[in-house]
Structure 1
């Protein structure tokens, strides 16, 4: 029984996403910079210009972003009425891929 509980706890802990380490964030930033220089990615400013105005018109406050170099997706984060909203944007095209929360 105890072994089953330990196994369950281990599986549950593995399912919880870990925060990105400073090293992986630095790697993502470097990948984003290289992608912009090579013309493969839009700049963060271009992505923000496409998404932020529409979200702020809906009463959301822009609070920041993350970039995943593996998928080339910018995740813009907004706050509205105490709820966080995540907007995933393709860094290559600027197309909104998904929206969750709030």
Structure 2
């Protein structure tokens, strides 16, 4: 019984460390995606963010543009909008500028 209590205490003691590590890993992935996007733009394989924003924001009328994310593995920009309290996500192919997906109204 004492072993189970000790094991439980050890696991509980490590939870804050694991929780702190998760955001750091996410930030490192995000930084890697940003670097990949920049390299892709330099090589002419990926459109600049401003061009993607220009093409998409005009199509999402009445919504406030909140920002973006970029996935280097798929070269997809995900733009986030807010309209009437609802979030709208728009996926855009970074190579062509074409909208490839959308969620929300």
Could you say which TM-score interval applies, normalised by the shorter chain?
A: 0.7 to 0.9
Greater share of helix residues, 1 or 2? 2
Q: Which of the numbers 69, 85, 90 marks the counterpart of 1:87?
A: 90
Partner secondary structure for residue 58 of structure 2? helix
For 1:48 and 1:101, locate their aligned partners in 2 and report how far apart those are by CA, in whole Å.
18
1:29 has 2:22 as partner:
no
- Residues 21-40 of structure 1 show CA distances to partners (whole Å, capped at 9, x for unaligned) of 11000000000000000000
Partner secondary structure for residue 39 of structure 1? coil
Aligned to 1:6: none
Corresponding residue pairs, total: 83
Q: Which runs of 5+ in 2 are unaligned?
A: 1-21
Give runs of ≥4 in structure 1 deviating > 3 Å: none
For 1:101 and 1:65, locate their aligned partners in 2 and report how far apart those are by CA, in whole Å.
15
Aligned to 1:69: 72
Give the TM-score of the pair, scaled to structure 2: 0.75
RMSD: 1.5
Larger Cα-atom Rg? 2
